[in-house]
Structure 1
Amino acid sequence: MKASFRFYILLCMTLLFPVLALPSTLTAEIKDAQNPVPKSLFLWDGAPPGFQKEAPPETINDRGAISNVSRPAISVFLPPQGTGTGMAIIVCAGGGYGSLDWKTHVIYAAEVFNPLGVAVIGLKYRTRPPFRGSNEQIQALTLLDAKRAVRLVRQHAKEWGLDSHQIGIAGYSAGGNLAMNLAASFDRGDPQATDPVERESSRPDFAIGLATWHWRQKTSPFTFRKDSPPVFLVHATNDGIKGGAPIEMPKEIEADLLKLGVPVKLALFDVGAHGVGNLIPQRVKRGFPPAKWPELFLSWYQSLN
């Protein structure tokens, strides 16, 4: 019995040691057994700025939605080797800043964009709870996460076979709120920073808003700039009827950007409601009109260059 017990302990240590030996930046975990994440990185080594101490544990439900995110991370989905275009899209899942609909918005986006040669970087930004501040405070906190994600991807671009000048951000609903917030509030990096990641620019090369939401408001809260990146918006005319995101806001975003001379495209659909941008496999397979937005976006973006 003692010999068997010693063998069991030795076996456990053999299996666990490679995991325990990994650097902390390589141990961010998205618990989706059916869709293993090829690479995961915490955005910061150690506690991030504004870290909530004694936060409840992160959870994921049977639909693949993540809650209680207190330590932000990215997960990297690269196209098959030799097929990449160099483009990467950092995807911000929706969920009202209270959860992240990871499977619907990140996993399915990777399944569509990877075959097109485009990398998808899932951004696991912070949610509430554990953060319990105001709407403005959660926007400010997640903006830190989005900025850091762009910087981190840009720093790893060569290693991952990406073009550092083709790194954009896309977001669904609350994630679209975050994407537009970054498009309006990026910075060019701090060349004097001791952390090399912070020297990188956080300006995305493009921004995509899908059913962009701002607590069901009709007016845009974003103050864009002349150097804001090109913006592609996907929205349904029947969104906002039962909550969701009223059509008036993306129209206002479009008008604001046109005044500034920033390239913008608003793709409108009469179907889809608040799930207009969801790339659910059945929708893609059946040719559901809004599910064609990836091709529409790529065609539009390439026409700008």
Structure 2
Amino acid sequence: MELFRPCADHSNGTAVIIAPGGGFVGLSYEAEGTAVARKLTKYGVTALVLKYRTIRSPDDAMHMPSVHMKEMETIMARAKSGIPAEVPLFAGEPHAVEDGRRALTLVHQHAAEWGINPRRVGFIGFSSGAFLAADLAIGDKAARPAFVGLFYGGLRMPVPIDAPPAFIAAAADDPYLPNDGTILYTAWRKVKASAELHLYEHGGHGFGLIARRDTSDHWFDEFIWWMQARSLLKQ
């Protein structure tokens, strides 16, 4: 993990672990990782970007293993059907989940050193990172983050009644997971777990912090407002 700390007199004790996207093949480390971390520190949040393990593949940004392409086709078909269904893990995802759990443990172990409230450690993810965040949110209760942010990804069923609060953001014109956001939100609310959904008309897949002159440009502000409403930015 790469650690980004706010000024000592500005820290509020909340920490967010960030899992960039990349299809479990690579990591969009800057656009969906360090850039987001730097913005979070401006609000007093300690941010940590997670370099989780990915599928072994050639050093080529365009490379995508055939097994992974078949998985994506299955995920897209289920998402387009609009029918909630439990989605199998991607190849490489189990290792990423292990790394996510280790990251949460490490942050808790260093909470006092880094000025973090151990009850305010969240986990957000983008695309494949959102699947990782969702895995942690619905997994072993002892290893769950205090809150999660699921950005254009994370379709998982079922959701436990004590799932952590979720901030969900996606675009309606996402070519890969067009209904993922609404299915996630419905699954959380079905068990009366706290969730907030922002579904933008435009943004596609992987809008991140890229300015597109669409409403999806404002997801970060809305995530900050959500954190403020949950008293996560108070000293």
- Cα distance change, pair 128–288 in 1 and its aligned pair in 2 (3 A): same
Structure 1: segments with no counterpart, 5+ residues: 1-73, 189-201, 214-219
Counterparts of 1:245 and 1:137, CA distance in 2: 18
Give the superposition deviation at 1:162. Answer: 1.1
Task: Tell me: CA distance 1:251–1:145, structure 2 relative to 1, closer, same or farther (3 Å).
Answer: same
- Which consecutive unaligned segments of at least 5 residues does structure 2 have? 58-64, 69-88
Cα gap change, 1:162 to 1:291, in 2 (>3 Å): farther
Q: Give the one of 238, 243, 253 matched to 2:173.
A: 238
Would the alpha carbon gap of residues 95 and 208 (structure 1) be closer, same or farther in structure 2, given more than 3 Å must change? Answer: same
Question: How far does the alpha carbon of each residue in 1:181-210 deviate from its partner, in whole angstroms, 9 at most, with x for none?
Answer: 11111331xxxxxxxxxxxxx210101111
Measured in 2, the distance between the counterparts of 1:80 and 1:274 equals 33
User: Matches of 2:92 and 2:152 in 1, distance apart?
Assistant: 19
Output the TM-score relative to the length of structure 1. 0.62
Aligned pair in 2 of structure 1 residues 287, 137: CA closer, same or farther (>3 Å)?
closer
Aligned length: 203
Alignment of 1:286-301 (within 5 A): 289-301=215-227
Amino acid at match of 1:125: Y
Structure-1 residue corresponding to 2:150: 209
Q: CA deviation at 1:301?
A: 3.5
Task: Provide the secondary structure at the position in 2 that maps to 1:148.
Answer: helix
Rounded Cα–Cα distance in structure 2 between residues aligned with 1:185 and 1:83 = 33
Deviation at 1:166, TM superposition (A): 0.9
CA contact (8 A) 2:138 2:160 kept: yes
User: 1:245 corresponds to which letter in structure 2?
Assistant: L
Q: Which structure: larger Rg?
A: 1
* Partner SS for 1:101: coil
Question: Any runs of at least 4 consecutive aligned residues in structure 1 with deviations exceeding 6 A, and if so which?
Answer: none
Note if 1:129 corresponds to 2:56. Answer: yes
Task: Give me the TM-score of the superposition, normalised by structure 2.
Answer: 0.79
2:4/2:38 contact within 8 Å kept: no
Taking the aligned partners of 2:90 and 2:128, their CA distance within structure 1 comes to 13
Verify: 1:91 aligned to 2:18, yes or no.
yes
Shift of 1:234: 0.7
Identity %: 29
Q: Distance in 2 between matches of 1:149 and 1:222?
A: 23
RMSD: 2.1
